[in-house]
Amino acid sequence: MKTVALGRTGIQVPVLAMGAASLGSIYHPVSQHQADETVAAALTHEVNYFDVAPYYGLTKAETALGIALKGVARKSYTLATKVGRYGDSQWDFSREATLRSVDESLARLGTDYIDIIQCHDVEYGDLRQVVEEALPTLRELQKSGVVRHVGITGYDLAFLEKLAIEQKVDTVMAYCTWTLQDRRLGAVARRLNQAGIGVLNASPLSMGLLTRSGAPAWHPAHQEVQNACRAVSDLCDREGTPISQVALQFALTTAAEQGIASTVIGTASQENMLDNVRWSDRPLDGALLEKIDALLAPVLNLGWDVLPGNGGKAQK
C-alpha cells in the first residue's frame, strides 16, 4: 500500500486505513474471529493504520482491536484512538475523564502508547473543556510519551478548521464529507494541509449510505439523499460495478489533490477488506462517475447539517 506523510507528525500513513468502529458491532454483529481475520487481512496488505474510539460499541471495538493486534510488532502499525465521547449523547472533555480514558484505552488496546489521540466529535462537547482541559492534558501526555500526536475529529468542517488552526493540533479527521455525495472537505483539507496539519478522510462510503445495503436505520441522512444514493447503487449494479467500489475509488484517487493523507474505511469483513485493497489499485471508471455525478447533482453536499434527516444518534 502506498504511504504518505501525515502532516508534520513524521508518520508515514497508508493511503487506505482501517476504521475499527465496525468491530464494535455498530453495523451488524461481529465476532472476535471476524475481527481477527479483518485486521490480519489489512496488515497483510500494509493497511497498518487503525482508527478506533472508546465510544464505538461502548468499548467493544477497542477491546476487539486490541485482541486482534496481540502479538503484532507494535512498531509495524499506527494506532489512533479518541477521548471525550462515551455514549450517543455523552461527552466529557474534562482533565479527569481524559486521563482516565487514555489509561483505559491503553489497557484495552494492549499497548503503552497511542500514536494519534483525538478529541472525538468536538463540536458537540463543551468547547471550554476541550480547549482548557482535554487538549492541554493530551499535550502533557505527549511530553511523557504516552501519546505521540494530538488531533480532533468531527463533522462540522468550519468548527474543525477554526479549532485546528487556533489550537495547532497535529491531525484532523472529518467524516462523510469527501465522498461521491458530499465534497465539502476538499477546500478545508487543502488549507489544513498547507498549515502542516495531517488530514484523514473517514467514512468514504458515508457510513453505509454508499453501499448496496444502504444506510443503517440510525443514519442521519435525509430520505431524499438516501433515495438518490439508492438510484446510484442501482445504476452501478446495472453497469457491473458495486457502488462501494466507485465510492472508495473516488475518495482515493482524489485524496492527494485535496491534501487528504489517508482515507479511513470501516469494515468487519475480511472479504470486503480484500476487495477494498484490490479496488485501491484499479482506475476509477470516468464514464460511470459522470453518470453518477448527474444522478447526485440535486443532493450534492446536502449533509444532515444542511438537510436534516432522522437526527442520527447524537443530540446536542
Ligand X SMILES: NC(=O)c1ccc[n+]([C@@H]2O[C@H](COP(=O)([O-])OP(=O)(O)OC[C@H]3O[C@@H](n4cnc5c(N)ncnc54)[C@H](OP(=O)(O)O)[C@@H]3O)[C@@H](O)[C@H]2O)c1
As annotated, the active-site residues are 56
Q: Which three cell numbers stand for residue 274?
A: 480484500
Conformational region of residue 150, where left means phi above 0, alpha means psi within -120 to 50, and beta covers everything else: beta
The interface region with ligand X, picked from 8-16, 100-108, 125-133, 206-214 by CB under 6 A, is 206-214
- Nearest approach in angstroms of CB 265 to ligand X is 4
Residue 207, interface with ligand X (CB under 6 A)?
Answer: yes
Report 225-244 residues binding ligand X (CB under 6 A): 244
* Cβ at position 247, least distance to ligand X in Å: 8
Binding residue for ligand X (CB under 6 A) from 39, 276, 299, 302?
276
54 binds ligand X (CB under 6 A): no
User: By CB under 6 A, which span of 39-47, 141-149, 182-190, 261-269 interacts with ligand X?
Assistant: 261-269
- CA dist., res. 24 & res. 22, Å (int): 5
Using rule CB under 6 A, residue 188 touches ligand X: no
Of 144 and 302, CB closest to ligand X = 302
Q: Residue 21, interface with ligand X (CB under 6 A)?
A: yes
State the CB neighbour count (10 A cutoff) for residue 237: 12
The size of the interface with ligand X (CB under 6 A), counted in residues, is 30
| Shortest Å distance, C-beta 187 to ligand X | 20
Give the separation between CA 5 and CA 169, rounded to whole angstroms. 16
Rank residues 34 and 193 by Cβ distance to ligand X and give the closer one. 34
Instruction: Please report which residue ranges of the chain form alpha helices under DSSP H.
Output: 32-44, 60-68, 95-109, 127-129, 135-143, 157-167, 185-194, 223-239, 243-255, 270-279, 286-296
Phi-psi region of 5 (alpha: psi -120 to 50; beta: other; left: phi over 0): beta
Assigned C-alpha cell, 278: 484490490
Angstrom distance (rounded) from CA 289 to CA 180 = 9
> Which residues contribute to the site for ligand X (CB under 6 A)?
19-22, 27, 51, 120-121, 153-154, 173, 175, 202-208, 211, 244, 264-269, 272, 275-276
